[in-house]
Amino acid sequence: MISFEHVTKKYGRETALNDVSFTLEKGKIYGFLGPNGSGKSTSLKMMAGLVFPTSGTVSVNGKKVDRKIAAEIAYLSELDFYYSAFTVQDMINFSASQVSDFDWKKAEELVAFMQLDPNKKLKQLSKGNRARLKLVVTLARNTPILLLDEPFSGLDPMVRESIVKGLLSYIDFANQTVVIATHEIDEIETLLDEVIAIQNGDIWAIENVEELRETKGLSVIEWMKQIF
């Protein structure tokens, strides 16, 4: 369970999150939806222990989040950062060496599924293939929490499709809590259990996707158009 209690994050006069409180339950897939600069990435980084609140508390399973939470959380960054000297296999070896929950079999399956050449240098990969590799090393971990920050940003439809297929095939739906921050909902709407609308650092609404469809007759995109 991930819990935000009156969390505020300020960067000088800019407020990235404004007295935000919510709880994310185990075994659900959450969509953090909102425009650029709304506070989605900051929220995910806080869950990953990479950014610290100015005030308030972020906790995971009752423990206050710090850097060590990386042992329980797999985090996929929005950044297209990579070690240029690495090959695909180097990246997998390195990721596996850093955590105890790395599933080699899953990683090999994912590499084949994403059609990546293990011997290719990362600097020779296309942006789409680097995004695929990021997903490989993230999904290959057996962590209770999975955070995906803008996994589709700047990628072509083919790559987006392969990423969604990867998520559908390799997420442990019963045991993993998944949080996906994005402003591109088309691809993931079918995956989501709950959606959290965030703008200017405020949580505007939290809805169950099924209820949204059944009681209000709205798709997530239609719902977003109403509230933003």
Partner 1 sequence: MTAFKGLYIKDLKLSFNGFIIGLFLIFFAMIASFALKEYFVEPSIPAIVSFIIIVLHVFYLPANLFTSLQVEAQSQLWLHNPNRGWKLFLAKIAAGITYFVASLIVSIILVKVFIVRTEYLGEFAGLSEMLGDNLLMIAGGMFLSSIYLTVWLLFYWTLYHALKRIPFLNQIRWFVLLVVWLSITIIGNLIKKIPVVKNLQELGTVNLYHFATIFRGNTVSPETAELHLGSILISILITVGVFLTSVWILERKVEV
Binding site for partner 1 (CB under 8 A): 11-14, 45, 48, 50-52, 66-68, 70-71, 75, 77, 79, 81, 83, 85-86, 90, 93-94, 96-99
- Residues with Cβ within 8 Å of residue 147, at least 6 apart in sequence: 44, 47, 48, 73, 74, 75, 76, 178, 179, 181
Which of 2/195 has CB closer to partner 1?
A: 2
Sort 67 into a burial class: Cβ within 10 Å, 0-12 / 13-18 / 19+.
Answer: exposed
Which of 97/119 has CB closer to partner 1?
A: 97
Which of 96/206 has CB closer to partner 1?
A: 96
Question: Shortest gap between Cβ of 205 and partner 1 (angstroms)?
Answer: 28
Question: Shortest gap between Cβ of 71 and partner 1 (angstroms)?
Answer: 4
Which of 93/208 has CB closer to partner 1?
A: 93
Distance of alpha carbon 153 from alpha carbon 35, whole angstroms: 12
Question: Shortest gap between Cβ of 14 and partner 1 (angstroms)?
Answer: 8
Question: Shortest gap between Cβ of 104 and partner 1 (angstroms)?
Answer: 11
Distance of alpha carbon 73 from alpha carbon 77, whole angstroms: 12
What the block records as the tokens of 73 is 């959380």
Distance of alpha carbon 90 from alpha carbon 113, whole angstroms: 18
